[in-house]
Structures are given as structure tokens and as C-alpha cells.
């Protein structure tokens, strides 16, 4: 039998709710068609053009933060195109992606800052804006901050009011550029440091002005690389560490060695979990790189894009792929790794919330439905704001040639409101396992268990017909002498609440 030991000694830190964040981009059917339909009569809308069904589903997972507008798109986006009367907004090429139902590489600008802020308010999510560094200007960035956060004594605060919003939007999180080493402008580390320094310098100055809404804190995010050498060289060249509150990286997993989205053999199945360990290593190496620069010891790591990117999700199909139970097991494995790093990771954003890549919600012309990954985010909500506890797992290991081995069972745990919450992933292909969960004495007399994917094979994927298929099922557990023994179906995710 496998063994999980939860320790209350030396807790890791508070799990920021922002670790369970999301991301939307002007890409494919993520926004146009998936979230925004304007006055399309086929589906009901809220907020003046947002799909009611998609918004209702997203509300069920309470996204704590929603990054926008990109992605690669962000470094060609001029925010002023997307405010004011919609019929007067310019149509522009989308330099990176096809989008919308017609799959055209065009940006109508129908969904802009006000529409995004309305979405955030409907979801009760923090906004997180990516500023255009690649083709934008410092002035444009400053004006966007003023538009979002300043009072109506300012030019852009007044413009916001004339667009219907008197009160500032209060945007805290600002990331400067997206993948500056790639689609964001092919900067080298020193080149991006020079850009970042001046953008952040001027935006930072806003912290001291009276025009800013008092509740608008600013937190500045520098865009790094999962290669710590690039990020380290950026940090060294920047030499103004006070201007950085967080450093972001992106990390996707998947690839031909993991097979296709819903078609993989056993070897390929396990390779995806081996890559989860590589993702976690990248976070650790970035954290170590940043920590080693003494004056940046307090800087947080933001995983501003993560998820599974299967080989067939390509430009021509707007990065759409089937979303399977295997993907959901990998998401649960990543969230366990993030909980374990709650002391250094300040935010993470799954790519992308709707229709694109490892999404939570998929849509067609008339309906919206949740993916297996949606269910994982629902199950893991109980960790948010808790204190992450050290969790030791003793289990068998699947050896992976040329990659980290895969422990068959992975877990994380946290404590809040007197309860201990343990999330366990059984990654064993086709085999049930049982686990003893041993927590500090006196902390278990009752337990409840919720199980995901008990009867679904790992390659089953969501579709309009699977709306209720992946919902959790409760199971009875009777702890004995402070130990809970839990059955783990093959390829499942289990949430265990331990009560004193
Ligand atoms: O999420 C899709 C794309 O992946 C984003 O536009 C880019 O930032 C990343 O490489």
C-alpha cells in the first residue's frame, strides 16, 4: 500500500488563490465565439455580449485572476483601438492568430478593455494586463494605466468615465511584454532589460501620484524565460531590482513523445507526467536564479502560461485539441507541484480558459460544456488561501528513459479552518491503488472523499455530450487510529478532507 505523510512542522507557506488563475487571448475561438458573441442571437448573453453559458461555467471555478490580452497578441495590441463606441473601433490584422467563428486573422476590437473588465467583474477575477512592449510605446502603457486606475481628474480617467465607467478599474498586475525572447520582439536579455527598466520606471512613478485610485496597488511583472540563463542575464542587466515584483515564465508540456491528444500508448501516457516534473524543475531553477540576486529575494515567480500543448494543436486549427482525462491528471499533478512551491510561486495562469489548448470550457454555436481539467480546478479550490503542508509520498515509480521518473501517486496537502485537505493523483495506467494517509496525531477522526474519473479511461475526452460525465463522486472513508485509508481508482484524482 502507498503511504502519504502530512506534516504540520515547517509549513511551506500560504497558497495564494492566484495559483489557480487563468488566461484568455485573442486567439482562435477563445474570446470571439467562446466568450464574446456581441449581439449574436443564437446564445444568451450577459454583460452586453458575453456568452451567458460560458460565463456561468467559469463562475463555478471562481477564477481568481484572468490574464489578457495575450500571449503573442499582446505585443501588437494597441489598447486605444478597443475602447469607445464599438462601431467606430478599427479593424486590424491579427498578426499571430486566426480567430472567431470564421477563422480570420482579423481583430475587430469588439472585445476591449471595458468588455474585459466587465468579464472580470462577472467572474470576480483580478485583472492582469500584458502591456505591449514589442510594438507599443511607454506613453501608450502609461495611458493604459491612467485609463484603468486614475480618477476622473485625468484625461484618460475622464475617457473611461465617458465609456460608462466612472470608478477606476483598479488593475494591480501589469506584465511588460510577452515572451520578449520570441514572439514579443526577439529581444536578447540585455535588450529586454533596457526596455523593461524604462517601462517599469515610468509606470512605477504612478505609485506616488494623487491621481491614482487609493485602492489601486501596482505590481510589476517582468517577462522571463524558462531557461534560467536568459532570465539570469536579464536580471543582471536590469540592475534596478526594485522595479520588479514578479518574474514570469511560460511552460507548456506535451510533444510527440507523449503521443497525440486522445491517442497515446502506455509509454507516451507516462511521459506527460515526466514532463510535469520538468515543469516543476523550471520553476525551481527560475526561483533559484532570482533568489541568488540578493536584492530580488522577495520577488515572486509567476507561471503566466502553463498547460498541455499537444502536437496537433497548430496555427491552422487555432490551437484546439481534445481535452482528456490524462490532461486533467497532468493538471492536478501541476497544481500539486505549485502548492508545494507556495512560498515562491505567486501566480499561475492555465492556457487558455476557453476552447484553446488545455481549456476549462469548450463551446459550439449553441452550447458550452466543461472539460475534465475544469473538474480538477473545482476540486482543488479548497486549497486556496490555506497553508501548504509538507507531504511525503511513498509509492512505486515508473522509470522513464531520458526523463524524470514518474511516482505513480502524487499528492499535496494544506490546512485551513481546522481542516486538512489532501489532493491525490493516481497516475497508474489501468491499476487501482490504495493509500494510507497519515496526518499529525489528533488531526483525523472523520474524513470525506471526492473522486474524479473513477470510471473513465485516460483517453476519454470532453464533448457536448459529456456535460455531467466528469463530475466528482463521493466515497465513504472511516479513519482508524488517526489514519485514513483511501482507494484510488486507476487514472483518478481524489480530494480528501480530514476532520479532527
Ligand atoms: O498560449 C498560446 C501562445 O503560447 C501564446 O500566445 C504565447 O505566449 C505562448 O507561446
- What is the structure's pLDDT at 160? 98
Q: Is the CB of 305 under 6 A from ligand 1?
A: yes
Q: Is the CB of 411 under 6 A from ligand 1?
A: no
**How many angstroms does the Cα of residue 16 sit away from the middle of ligand 1?**
24
Q: What percent of the chain has pLDDT over 90?
A: 86
- What is the structure's pLDDT at 215? 67
Q: Which atom of ligand 1 is the closest one to the Cα of 351?
A: 1
**How many angstroms does the Cα of residue 72 sit away from the middle of ligand 1?**
6
Q: Is the CB of 175 under 6 A from ligand 1?
A: no
pLDDT tens track for 215-229: 678 999 999 999 999
Mean pLDDT taken over the chain: 95
pLDDT tens track for 210-259: 788 776 789 999 999 999 999 999 999 998 788 999 999 999 999 999 99
DSSP structure string for 294-347: GGGTTPEEEEEEEEE--TT--GGGTT----BHHHHHHHHHHHHHHHHTTTTEEE
- What is the structure's pLDDT at 103? 74
Going by pLDDT thresholds of 50, 70 and 90, the confidence category of residue 207 is: confident
Strand 106-107 to 92-93 pairing: antiparallel
Whether residue 437 has pLDDT greater than 70 = yes
Q: Is 414 exposed, middle or buried (0-12, 13-18, 19+ CB in 10 A)?
A: buried
Write the residue with the smallest CA distance to atom 7 of ligand 1.
71
Is the pTM for the entire model greater than 0.85?
yes
- What is the structure's pLDDT at 126? 97
Cis peptide leading into 71, omega within 30 of 0?
yes
First to last CA, the chain: 24
Q: What is the total residue count of the chain?
A: 500
pLDDT tens track for 303-339: 999 999 999 999 989 999 999 999 999 999 999 999 9
- What is the structure's pLDDT at 265? 97
Q: Which atom of ligand 1 is the closest one to the Cα of 352?
A: 1
- What is the structure's pLDDT at 195? 97
**How many angstroms does the Cα of residue 35 sit away from the middle of ligand 1?**
18
Whether residue 440 has pLDDT greater than 80 = no
pLDDT tens track for 61-118: 999 999 999 999 999 999 999 999 999 999 999 999 988 767 778 899 999 999 999 9
Q: Which atom of ligand 1 is the closest one to the Cα of 179?
A: 8
Amino acid at each position: 500500500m502507498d503511504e502519504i505523510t502530512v506534516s504540520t512542522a515547517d509549513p511551506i507557506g500560504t497558497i495564494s488563490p492566484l495559483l489557480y488563475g487563468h488566461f484568455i487571448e485573442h486567439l482562435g475561438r477563445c474570446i470571439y465565439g467562446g466568450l464574446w458573441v456581441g449581439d449574436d442571437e443564437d446564445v444568451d448573453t450577459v454583460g452586453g455580449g458575453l456568452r451567458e453559458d460560458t460565463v456561468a461555467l467559469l463562475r463555478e471555478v471562481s477564477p481568481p485572476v484572468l490574464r489578457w490580452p495575450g500571449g503573442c497578441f499582446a505585443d501588437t495590441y494597441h489598447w486605444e483601438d478597443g475602447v469607445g463606441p464599438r462601431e467606430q473601433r478599427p479593424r486590424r490584422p491579427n498578426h499571430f492568430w486566426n480567430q472567431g467563428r470564421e477563422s480570420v486573422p482579423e481583430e475587430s476590437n469588439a472585445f476591449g478593455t471595458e468588455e474585459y473588465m466587465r468579464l472580470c467583474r462577472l467572474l470576480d477575477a483580478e485583472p492582469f494586463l500584458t502591456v505591449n512592449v514589442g510594438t507599443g510605446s511607454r506613453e501608450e502603457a502609461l495611458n493604459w494605466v491612467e485609463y484603468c486606475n486614475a480618477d476622473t481628474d485625468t484625461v484618460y480617467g475622464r475617457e473611461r468615465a465617458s465609456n460608462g465607467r466612472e470608478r477606476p478599474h483598479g488593475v494591480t498586475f501589469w506584465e511588460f511584454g510577452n515572451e520578449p525572447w520570441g514572439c514579443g520582439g526577439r529581444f536578447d536579455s540585455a535588450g529586454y532589460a533596457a526596455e523593461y527598466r524604462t517601462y517599469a520606471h515610468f509606470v512605477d512613478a504612478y505609485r506616488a501620484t494623487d491621481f491614482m485610485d487609493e485602492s489601486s496597488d501596482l505590481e510589476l511583472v517582468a517577462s522571463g524565460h524558462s531557461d534560467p540563463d536568459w532570465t539570469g542575464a536579464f536580471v543582471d542587466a536590469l540592475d534596478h531590482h526594485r522595479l520588479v515584483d514578479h518574474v514570469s515564465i511560460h511552460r507548456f508540456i506535451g510533444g510527440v513523445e507523449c503521443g497525440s491528444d486522445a491517442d497515446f500508448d502506455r509509454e507516451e501516457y507516462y511521459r506527460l507526467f515526466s514532463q510535469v516534473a520538468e515543469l516543476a524543475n523550471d520553476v525551481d531553477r527560475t526561483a533559484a536564479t532570482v533568489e541568488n540576486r540578493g536584492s530580488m529575494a522577495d520577488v515572486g515567480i509567476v507561471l503566466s502560461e502553463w498547460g498541455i500543448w499537444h502536437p496537433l494543436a497548430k496555427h491552422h486549427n487555432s490551437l484546439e485539441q481534445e481535452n482528456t482525462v490524462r490532461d486533467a491528471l497532468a493538471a492536478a499533478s501541476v497544481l500539486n507541484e505549485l502548492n508545494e512551491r507556495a512560498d515562491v510561486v505567486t501566480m499561475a495562469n492555465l492556457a487558455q480558459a476557453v476552447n484553446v489548448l488545455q481549456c476549462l470550457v469548450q463551446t459550439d454555436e449553441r452550447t458550452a460544456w466543461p472539460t475534465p481539467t475544469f473538474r480538477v480546478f473545482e476540486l482543488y479550490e479548497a486549497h486556496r488561501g490555506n497553508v501548504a503542508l509538507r507531504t511525503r509520498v511513498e509509492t512505486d515509480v515508473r522509470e522513464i528513459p531520458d526523463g524524470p521518473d514518474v511516482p505513480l501517486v502524487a499528492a499535496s496537502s494544506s490546512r485551513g479552518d481546522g481542516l486538512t485537505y489532501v489532493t491525490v493523483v493516481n497516475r497508474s495506467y489501468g491499476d487501482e491503488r490504495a493509500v494510507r494517509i497519515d496526518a499529525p496525531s489528533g488531526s483525523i477522526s472523520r474524513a470525506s472523499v471526492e473522486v474524479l474519473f473513477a470510471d473513465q479511461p485516460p483517453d476519454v475526452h470532453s464533448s457536448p455530450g459529456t456535460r455531467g460525465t466528469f463530475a466528482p463522486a463521493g466515497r465513504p472513508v472511516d479513519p482508524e487510529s488517526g489514519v485514513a485509508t483511501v482507494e484510488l481508482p486507476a487514472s483518478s484524482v481524489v480530494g480528501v478532507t480530514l476532520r479532527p
